[in-house]
Amino acid sequence: MKILYRYITKNILKNFLVLIAVFSIVIVSSQLLHLPSVMYHADITNFFKLLFLMNLSFLKFQLLFAFFLSTALLGFNMRENREIYAVYSAGITKGQLIKPLVVISLIIFTVSLIVSMFVVPYANRERAKFITLNIKRYFLDAVQEKNFFQLSDNVTIYTEKKEGNRFENVFIYNRERGQTISAKEAFFDTTTFFLKKGYIQIPDEKGFNILRFESYRFNIDVEYLKKYSIEDYRNKDLLMIIKKSKKDKNRALSVLTDRILFPFPFLFIGVLGFMVGIKTQKGKDSVIATTVLISIVYLVLNFYFIKLIGKGKIDPSVYAFVLLAYFSSITYYFYRK
């Protein structure tokens, strides 16, 4: 039995890691097409960090398809090589055969729960901040002495002298507010200009008002700022919204429900995938198509019910019951087939 369990575990792990690698390459390659062009000017370390964060953002979907397909391919290979018949001939029951699958499923379930609850939201937040910061720094580096440079449609900057993050005799025009800012010195830190000894020209109904300042902070919040939405908030922030905000309560509840229930299928798809592999009497393409179809139906259900929860039309427990009914019925069908 130990040899059989080791064989099952080894083959699932091999298929799983190969599929994760393939999915990672496909996802990163497709996401590269949507990157702002200035990101290609980032240094190699930051560029690979961004690729890593992009991959993490889709990790929970990679886990779902990779684990489901790896167990299905194991079942198919055992049937195709007639190993499954040798196992049954040795008196090993289905219950004994699926024991390692149950253990692996529990492990992957735990991993996917951590990924869904913490890793993916964190990766999305960090990716948004990372892209924003690097784009801003790119534009700042592009500022040249004694040249007007347009940071965005609304912000134009001019400086007589630039040394690293230090600027002298700075002129900033904010078209959106109609403001003109001038300063003798300026320092740039992260996303903010710290201006010293200057003037702000503010338009009003009668003309202009001029304000003199010793120090002033100007935040470069321009149009390429990439913000993350409520779907990427921290869990404690979502709980706070549920408790205190009537307006966004249902939306926050739907996000939290999605994170908690997304790993639920992992309790079934280990055994389900294996049974699809050994019970489907057609080729590998049919096995793969069946697992992909089951996964896509689940994702459609997930999208639909999460939207309903976000609108306050159903309780999260209803969606949990639907998931239980969907996966338990399919697993039972293939187990008894």
Q: Are 248 and 255 in contact (CB under 8 A)?
A: no
Give the model's pLDDT for residue 268.
Answer: 97
Cβ neighbours for 243, distance < 8 A, ≥ 6 positions apart: none
Q: How far apart are CA 14 and CA 17, in angstroms?
A: 5
For β-strands 149-150 and 166-174, DSSP reports them as: unpaired
Q: Are 50 and 39 in contact (CB under 8 A)?
A: yes
**Unique residue bearing structure tokens 């790993």:** 263
Q: How far apart are CA 74 and CA 126, in angstroms?
A: 37
CB count in 10 Å sphere of residue 316: 18
C-alpha triplet 174, 179, 181: angle, nearest 5°:
90
Looking at residues 124-136, what average pLDDT do you find?
A: 79
For β-strands 208-219 and 192-203, DSSP reports them as: antiparallel
Q: How far apart are CA 103 and CA 19, in angstroms?
A: 20
Give the model's pLDDT for residue 36.
Answer: 67
Evaluate if residue 34 carries a pLDDT over 80: no
Coil vs helix vs strand at 307? helix
The DSSP letter of residue 256 is H
C-alpha distance across the termini of the chain, in Å: 24
Lowest mean pLDDT among 17-21, 146-150, 306-310: 146-150
Evaluate if residue 246 carries a pLDDT over 80: yes
Evaluate if residue 332 carries a pLDDT over 70: yes
Q: Which residue has the higher pLDDT, 1 or 272?
A: 272
Q: Are 330 and 275 in contact (CB under 8 A)?
A: no
Q: Which residue has the higher pLDDT, 264 or 47?
A: 264
Rounded to the nearest 5°, which phi and psi values hold at 196?
Answer: -130, 140
Looking at residues 224-248, what average pLDDT do you find?
A: 84
Evaluate if residue 52 carries a pLDDT over 60: yes
Closest to 107 measured CA to CA, from 247, 9, 29: 9
Tens digit of pLDDT for each residue in 186-205? 987 766 789 999 999 888 77
For the full predicted model, state whether its pTM sits above 0.75: yes
Lowest mean pLDDT among 33-42, 67-76, 81-90, 313-322: 33-42
Evaluate if residue 132 carries a pLDDT over 80: no
Q: Could you state, in order of their start, the residue ranges of all structural domains in the chain?
A: 2-137+228-336, 153-219
Evaluate if residue 226 carries a pLDDT over 60: no
The DSSP letter of residue 38 is G
Retrieve residue 132's tokens. Answer: 């924003």
Q: How far apart are CA 213 and CA 183, in angstroms?
A: 9
Using a pLDDT cut of 70, give the percent of the chain over it: 92
pLDDT band at 179 (very low <50, low <70, confident <90, very high): confident
Whole-number Cα distances in Å, 217 to 188, 192, 193, 197, 201: 10, 7, 6, 12, 15
Closest to 259 measured CA to CA, from 117, 138, 137, 64: 117
Evaluate if residue 47 carries a pLDDT over 90: no
Closest to 8 measured CA to CA, from 73, 61, 62, 68: 73
Q: Are 24 and 62 in contact (CB under 8 A)?
A: yes
Q: How far apart are CA 220 and CA 139, in angstroms?
A: 10
Give the model's pLDDT for residue 94.
Answer: 87
**Unique residue bearing structure tokens 């912000």:** 155
Coil vs helix vs strand at 223? coil
pLDDT band at 37 (very low <50, low <70, confident <90, very high): low
Evaluate if residue 318 carries a pLDDT over 60: yes
Give the model's pLDDT for residue 49.
Answer: 87
Question: Averaging pLDDT over each range in 179-183, 194-198, 265-269, which range is the top one?
Answer: 265-269
CB count in 10 Å sphere of residue 283: 11
Tens digit of pLDDT for each residue in 94-121? 889 999 999 999 999 999 999 999 999 9
CB count in 10 Å sphere of residue 63: 23
Lowest mean pLDDT among 160-174, 212-226, 251-265: 212-226
Give the model's pLDDT for residue 2.
Answer: 85
Give the model's pLDDT for residue 56.
Answer: 95
pLDDT band at 255 (very low <50, low <70, confident <90, very high): very high
Q: H-helix or E-strand containing 162?
A: strand 155-163
